[in-house]
Amino acid sequence: MKKKLSLLLALSFSAIMLIAGCGASSSGSKDSSEEKETLTVGLEAGYPPFNWTQMGDANGGVKIDGNAEYAGGYDVEIAKKIADGLGMELVVVKTEWDGLVPALVSGKIDAIFAGMSPTKERKQTIDFSNNYYTSNFVMIVKKGGSYEGATSIQDFSGAKITGQLNTSHYGVIDQIKDVKKQPASDNFPAMRVALESGVIDGYVSERPEGISATSANDKFAMVEFTDGFEADEEETAVAAGLKKGSELTDKINDILADISEEERQSIMDAAIKNQPAAK
């Protein structure tokens, strides 16, 4: 009886040690395979060369979350550098322009990298990182048309002009005297179609998008002004949109500080070259 009891106790003790050993092994395995935190960013994937949609991972394209497509462009390259600097995995969520700020505020995304300018109006709702690109306003018109040789924004008096909805591009149109300001457009592909079809005489954009448009369509020309639009730097700059009080803001600014102006321009030049529409 004593032998049986001793044997039973020994077996019980061995079983307890085995369970404890398995528990320790499982815990160690979990720690070693723990996934990176994610940095979820929102963008239109429809504003080349800042961001666009493509079908593969060529030129550093990043898979769009819940989608078979990939996102590429200047914003994506900057977001990749930010995610790497933070030690996080980049997740891209394709979001309509008007849905970006609500998605950020609701917590669906952690940041906006979408060619967005840090305007006073937007700063009432969200915070911004330091600028990661600065450009200037241009006008996209038909090549060979009466507006191609314009040098002043006032040369567009009487012209049918538009810009993207809820952007400073659209707001500055009011600086043109007697302009026929058209309803704002949801996106740039729609404006390009409207321009080619003659529905509008031109649309306001930033220089990188102007280079993109004229590279994609040889019927377009980009007008750069000697007497141009008056705009604060915040309206022509691009920054990452972040939730109010986000702990990411200072960290992102530290990473951006290490990206030189030469490197930023090199990234933009590559984006202009690699955009799908330009091929």
Residue type, 101: V
- Cβ 86 vs Cβ 240: under 8 Å: no
Helix (H, G, I), strand (E, B) or coil at 31: helix
Asked if the bond preceding 208 is cis, omega within 30° of 0, the reply is no
Q: Which domains does the chain have, with CATH numbers?
A: 38-134+234-278 (3.40.190.10), 137-230 (3.40.190.10)
Which residues are within 8 A (CB) of 170 and not within 5 positions of it... i.e. 6 or more apart?
162, 163, 164, 184, 204
Banded pLDDT at 276 (limits 50, 70, 90): confident
- What the block records as the tokens of 207 is 């220089």
Residue 8 has pLDDT above 90, yes or no: no
Closest among 161, 200, 201, 199 to 178, alpha carbons compared: 161
Q: Name every residue whose Cβ is closer than 8 Å to that of residue 109 and which is 6 or more positions away in sequence.
A: 40, 41, 42, 93, 95, 100, 103
pLDDT exceeds 80 at position 251: yes
**What's the angle, vertex CA 41, arms to CA 39 and CA 46, rounded to 5?**
150
DSSP string, 181-243: EPPPBS-HHHHHHHHHHTS-SEEEEEHHHHHHHHHH-TTEEEE--SB-----HHHHEEEEEE-
Tell me how far apart the terminal alpha carbons of the chain are, to the nearest angstrom: 87
Cα separation, 101 vs 54, in Å, equals 24
Q: With bands split at pLDDT 50, 70 and 90, how would you rate the model's confidence at 34? A: low
Asked if the model's pLDDT at residue 236 lies above 50, the reply is yes
Residue 26 pLDDT > 50: no
Checking if the pLDDT of 145 tops 80, the result is yes
Report the SS3 class of residue 166: coil
Binned at pLDDT 50, 70 and 90, residue 90 comes out as very high
More confident residue, 61 or 276: 61
Mean pLDDT of the chain: 89
Torsion-angle region of 59 (φ positive above 0: left; ψ -120 to 50: alpha; else: beta): left
Please report, as a single letter, which amino acid is at residue 172: V
Distances from the Cα of 14 to the Cα of 5, 19, 253, 277, angstroms: 14, 9, 56, 68
- Percent of the chain residues topping a pLDDT of 70: 87
Residues 263, 142 contacting (CB under 8 angstroms) = no
Tokens 């604060």 -> residue: 232
C-alpha atoms less than 13 angstroms from C-alpha of 206 in its C-beta half-sphere: 23
Q: For the residues of 63-105, what is the DSSP string, one character each?
A: EBTTSS-EEESHHHHHHHHHHHHHT-EEEEEE--GGGHHHHHH
